[in-house]
Amino acid sequence: MRRHPGILDRFRHPAQVIVTGFGMAVLIGTALLTLPIATESGESSGWLAALFTATSAVCVTGLVVVDTATHWSVFGESVIAGLIQVGGLGIMTLATLFTVLVAGRLGLRARIFAQAEAKTLSMTDVRHVVRRVVVFSLVCEAIAAVILTGRFLIGYGEPFGRAVYLGVFHAISAFNNAGFALWSDSLMRFVTDPWICLTIATAVIVGGLGFPVVFELLGTWRRPSRWSVLTRVTVGVTVVLLVGGTLLFLAIEWRNPKTLGALDGPGKLLAAFFTAVMPRTAGFNSIDLADMYPTSWLATDLLMFIGGGSAGTAGGIKVTTFGMLAFVIWAEMRGERDVNIGHRRLPEVAQRQAVSISLVSVALVTVSTYLLLALTPYSLDQVLFEVISAFGTVGLSTGITADATPAGHVLLVLLMFIGRTGPVTLGSALALKDRARRYQLPEERVIVG
């Protein structure tokens, strides 16, 4: 008897389900945020503001066209927090967890989908990995929420209920690298408060490392020699970017009276470190980015484009991609046929993926920058900053997001969605099927450079 095709049968590639899942979450979030109850004024925000906010939340970006602190009601802010949580964990991760809880077992197709979202290296342990991801995420958020709640309660005299609300919201936003804040100035009022800034920065770093790296570090942090290539590259590049970014911002902004210049020595160091962490795709800011020097904007552009670790809540092309390209260039400069990292050889397919993701991302950023320049009256450095922030799902802005044209807002929405689902993932989702060539053509050398 011939079986009629179901809904899942229409999606032959896991990436198609992932993209569809994120799209559905955005649509549901948009519908909820258009309700009058979602705003402080009791009037509907309109579909574009709701769509932009829902996409920014699901894609854990943090760019906004309306002030989160004053525009949205408690219901609207709760919807945003829920969308951030869904987007951070991943649609397929949540769907897999529900399948495990309800059915008690996992089908082959569901395991493939979960593997594609969680980027686990084998399908045999997907169910176990998904459970660990969810538990680990909730524990990290709970720890951050407790610290933040205590600080708001004791240090700033917030009522207990309000302190808990602020602590939970910003813990979710930080761990998921979303960057939504419940103050109009983001976290500028806490620029010299290490309890707030370091707690949020730590949550951002842990969430942005990627779950495979975090789990491996938890078990082998005392034995770096046993780390996998993924962990070595992720940790190494992350440390270099954090230290280098901190020193760079200190050097550039040290005497800027509108950013670091007005702070004392420890305050400068804390603010510079916080500013270096946030381009990992978190989106909080403790100094006014609009007052930073253009050279600092360019440095932030680079950090935002690279992003954080794979299989985490961060965006960008990922530090692993950047690290692999660095090793590819180093091997080519030395004339070596193989690309080696430590005592392991990097497969050619991984090298092609790194090159493909990087070039597609550069092309997308370039075209989007050109289009946004045509749609807005802002300068190139401001527009480039905005485009990379949206594509890298960062959420940092020089202050031009809300004033962009409706067409510009739609462009940023598309960039955030593509940045979260990934250029390669989106492209494979649109493909009807994999195409395998069953023959090889004769090789011919081509002049390069």
Q: How far is the C-alpha of 341 from the C-alpha of 346, rounded, in Å?
A: 7
Tokens for 425, please give them. Answer: 């993932």
For residues 359-375, one letter each, b for 16 or more C-beta atoms within 10 angstroms of the residue's C-beta and e for the rest, the string is ebbeebbeebbeebbeb
Question: In this structure, is residue 406 part of a structural domain?
Answer: yes
Question: In this structure, is residue 137 part of a structural domain?
Answer: yes
Q: How far is the C-alpha of 420 from the C-alpha of 59, rounded, in Å?
A: 5
Helix axes 160-175, 126-155, angle to 10 degrees: 140
Q: What is the pLDDT of residue 353?
A: 80
In DSSP notation, 283-338 reads ---SS-GGGS-HHHHHHHHHHHHH-S-TTSS--SS-HHHHHHHHHHHHHHHTT-SS
HEC profile for 90-114? CHHHHHHHHHHHHHCCCCHHHHHHH
Question: In this structure, is residue 435 part of a structural domain?
Answer: no
Question: In this structure, is residue 31 part of a structural domain?
Answer: yes
Question: In this structure, is residue 446 part of a structural domain?
Answer: no
- Domain housing 224: 11-428
| pTM of the predicted model over 0.85 | yes
Q: How far is the C-alpha of 79 from the C-alpha of 118, rounded, in Å?
A: 24
Number of domains in the chain: 1
Q: What is the pLDDT along the chain (449 residues), one digit of tens a residue?
A: 454 554 445 545 556 777 888 899 999 999 999 999 999 999 999 999 999 999 999 999 999 999 999 999 999 999 999 999 998 887 656 555 554 544 555 565 565 556 566 655 555 556 777 788 888 899 999 999 999 999 999 999 999 999 999 999 999 999 999 999 999 999 999 999 999 999 999 999 999 888 778 888 888 877 888 888 888 999 999 999 999 999 999 999 999 999 999 999 999 999 999 999 999 888 899 999 999 999 999 999 999 999 988 777 788 888 988 999 999 999 989 888 888 887 888 888 788 888 888 998 999 999 999 999 999 999 999 999 999 999 999 999 999 999 999 999 999 999 999 988 876 565 555 444 455 667 777 887 787 77
Q: What is the pLDDT of residue 260?
A: 96
Question: In this structure, is residue 5 part of a structural domain?
Answer: no
Q: What is the pLDDT of residue 244?
A: 96
Question: In this structure, is residue 313 part of a structural domain?
Answer: yes
Question: In this structure, is residue 27 part of a structural domain?
Answer: yes
Place of tokens 């210049």: 261
Alpha-carbon separation of residue 94 from 19, 117, 252 (angstroms): 14, 10, 43
